[in-house]
Amino acid sequence: MMNHSDADDASSTPLPRTHLCDMLDCRLPLILAGMGGVARSELVAAVSEAGGFGFLGMVREPLALIEREVRAVRDRTAARFGVNLIPAGTSAELLDQQVQCCVDLQVPVVGLFWDVNHAVVARLKAADITVVHQVGSVAQALQAQSAGVDAFIVQGVEAGGHVSGRQPLDALLAAVLAVVDVPVAAAGGISTGEQVAQLMTQGAQAAVLGTALLATQESFAHDFHKQRVVRARADDTVLTEDFHINWPAHAAVRVLRNSVTQGQHGDPFTQARRVIGEEEGRPIYLFSTDSPLRSMSGDFEPMALYAGRGVDAIDSIPTAAQRMASIMQSAQTHWRMLHRPEVEVSSPVCYAPAFERERNEALIAQLNELLEAERAGVRVTVQTLAQVSDPATRQLVEAIHHDEVQWCVMLLHAIRDMGGTTSPRTGAFFQKAMAIENVAERLAFLNRGQGWVAKRVAELLERVEDPALHKNLTRMLDSHKENLTRVNEHLALE
């Protein structure tokens, strides 16, 4: 997935420059999360000046503040930066004004989060603005890709703040990388260089830092919040829906445990609103999603103290540049360790290496053919789910979707383990399937595709010698056979 130039050979230059870094025009593969309230102009400029890429966190903010903060960033740095907006957490009228404000200010990049808003993406793209969408599931990623976004941030459940998905970052990143064809950054509890190197080795093109940059001198978070982060450990964080005012229902956040998460203030959803703080004349309510900021006063302990599970590695409050330099130094060290050149052992049969390469190339081509077919199946099932209301049909399609994602990930890892390059294409089956409007007929067509894959896997098994790959392909074959039977039985009942 990473676009490496010849100059970015891992054996000579750590952390290769990626296509996403080129797109954002940043030197380092480190992105500041667009944390509402916390990621203001001072922090954004510091991150961008240090070589990373910064997002201003402007969710629900008035236009005057967006204009002021954008100008303040430009006064501090000539580097590119972005503005983060969240359509689902913003009124339609204000969202419309915020988008137009970004267009008028010629903001180069806009980050989006939560639900995929096709109209907003289209409007930003029409203004030649690069759109980065944060997602918490494969389905969201495919929806955002169909809307035309330029890149993704894949957010694992380890992340602090608002968390849309429930999968660990490693698993979700692998699944999204297997089915999309735009650059992907990784987010969720990242605070060390070792994590950055490992995630980029998996295929991420940058790491997104939230909590690690909240606890810096330029962050707009209140010092009370920063000190709590410094003292906290991963097990001090909890995923909760208690902080809900100003956001859609059932929107979980990861915060540090406090009197609210311990239930000391009663049921968050039945209490009358109670003011616990103030920001420039604006009341801050108990159970709201507001976190303590420099500009606030009041009782900070029961506020939303956002923090990801990466707090274990945060024990000080340096400048943003110092934290990034420390992370990058460690990342480079671990990258070198992960990408040490292998020592070739001479073979008594001089033609063996060439023969092995040719055999691997043929196998990689066949695995890529299967990957393209499975990726088509993932997209067909995602779009079909959006059209299905019958519970039995939904359950069936969801099960097939889960399997298709699983086999995409397996094939991606198998190809990479063999030193191959994964195909970015999606099989032509996708377009043919989606041209069928009737869901039952489309399922029947999908079953024919499953049958084709099963046949190809069975043929391939006869030639695969590696025990681990043989075992995985056998599981894949059995899974497709089971799905063939389940779909046929389902269609017979209709």
Shared-domain flag, residues 169 and 37: yes
Are 226 and 327 in contact by the 8 Å Cβ rule? The answer is no
Shared-domain flag, residues 321 and 429: no
Are 16 and 8 in contact by the 8 Å Cβ rule? The answer is yes
Lowest-confidence region among 287-296, 339-348, 377-386 = 339-348
Average pLDDT, the chain: 92
Provide, rounded to the nearest whole percent, the portion of the chain with pLDDT above 90. 85
> Residue 433: what pLDDT?
95
Helices marked H in 130-284? 138-147, 169-179, 193-202, 211-214, 223-231
- Confidence bin at 350 (pLDDT 50/70/90): low
- Confidence bin at 338 (pLDDT 50/70/90): confident
Domain that holds residue 40: 5-223+311-337
**Is residue 486 in some structural domain?**
yes
- Confidence bin at 357 (pLDDT 50/70/90): low
* Tokens found for residue 134: 């944060």
Backbone angles phi, psi at 344, to 5 degrees: -75, 135
> Residue 353: what pLDDT?
58
The CATH number assigned to the domain holding 139 equals 3.20.20.70
Please compute the mean of the pLDDT values over residues 64-85 and round it to a whole number.
Answer: 97
Please check the confidence at residue 345 and state whether its pLDDT lies above 80: no
> Residue 11: what pLDDT?
36
Please compute the mean of the pLDDT values over residues 23-41 and round it to a whole number.
Answer: 97
For 300, half-sphere exposure in the C-beta direction (CA atoms, 13 angstrom radius) is 19
Shared-domain flag, residues 40 and 145: yes
β-bridge pairing 207-209 and 237-240:
unpaired
- CA separation for the pair 105, 32 (Å, rounded): 21
Lowest-confidence region among 78-87, 221-230, 256-265, 423-432 = 423-432
The CATH number assigned to the domain holding 487 equals 1.20.1260.10
Please check the confidence at residue 1 and state whether its pLDDT lies above 50: no
- CA separation for the pair 200, 211 (Å, rounded): 19
Shared-domain flag, residues 82 and 157: yes
Please compute the mean of the pLDDT values over residues 340-355 and round it to a whole number.
Answer: 55
pLDDT tens profile 190-213: 999 999 999 999 999 999 999 999
Please check the confidence at residue 323 and state whether its pLDDT lies above 50: yes
Please compute the mean of the pLDDT values over residues 472-476 and round it to a whole number.
Answer: 97
**Is residue 191 in some structural domain?**
yes
**Is residue 233 in some structural domain?**
no
- Confidence bin at 4 (pLDDT 50/70/90): very low
Q: Which of 226-230, 342-346, 360-364 has the highest mean pLDDT?
A: 226-230
Please compute the mean of the pLDDT values over residues 242-269 and round it to a whole number.
Answer: 94
- CA separation for the pair 399, 483 (Å, rounded): 9
Please check the confidence at residue 250 and state whether its pLDDT lies above 90: no
Please check the confidence at residue 455 and state whether its pLDDT lies above 70: yes
Closest CA to 486 of 393, 406, 421, 380: 393
**Is residue 242 in some structural domain?**
no
> Residue 136: what pLDDT?
96
**Is residue 267 in some structural domain?**
no
Please check the confidence at residue 97 and state whether its pLDDT lies above 80: yes
Shared-domain flag, residues 429 and 327: no
- CA separation for the pair 67, 87 (Å, rounded): 18
Shared-domain flag, residues 322 and 432: no
**Is residue 353 in some structural domain?**
yes
**Is residue 261 in some structural domain?**
no
Shared-domain flag, residues 40 and 183: yes
- Give the Cβ contact number of residue 390 at 10 Å: 11
Shared-domain flag, residues 329 and 186: yes
pLDDT tens profile 437-448: 999 999 999 999
> Residue 91: what pLDDT?
93
Shared-domain flag, residues 381 and 457: yes
> Residue 343: what pLDDT?
52
**Is residue 248 in some structural domain?**
no
Shared-domain flag, residues 321 and 437: no
- CA separation for the pair 49, 145 (Å, rounded): 30
- CA separation for the pair 314, 28 (Å, rounded): 20
Shared-domain flag, residues 331 and 474: no
> Residue 214: what pLDDT?
98
Please check the confidence at residue 260 and state whether its pLDDT lies above 70: yes
- CA separation for the pair 132, 150 (Å, rounded): 6
Listing DSSP states for 312-338 in one string gives: GG------HHHHHHHHHHHHHHHHHHH
Provide, rounded to the nearest whole percent, the portion of the chain with pLDDT above 70. 94
SS3 467: helix
| Tally: H helices and E strands in the chain | 16, 14
- CA separation for the pair 79, 96 (Å, rounded): 27
pLDDT tens profile 410-420: 999 999 888 89
Shared-domain flag, residues 368 and 333: no
Rg (CA), the chain: 24
Tally of residues, the chain: 494
Q: What angle do CA 258, 261, 267 make, to 5 degrees?
A: 130
Lowest-confidence region among 228-237, 299-308, 340-349, 423-432 = 340-349
Number of domains present in the structure of the chain: 2
Of residues 494 and 206, more confidence is placed in 206
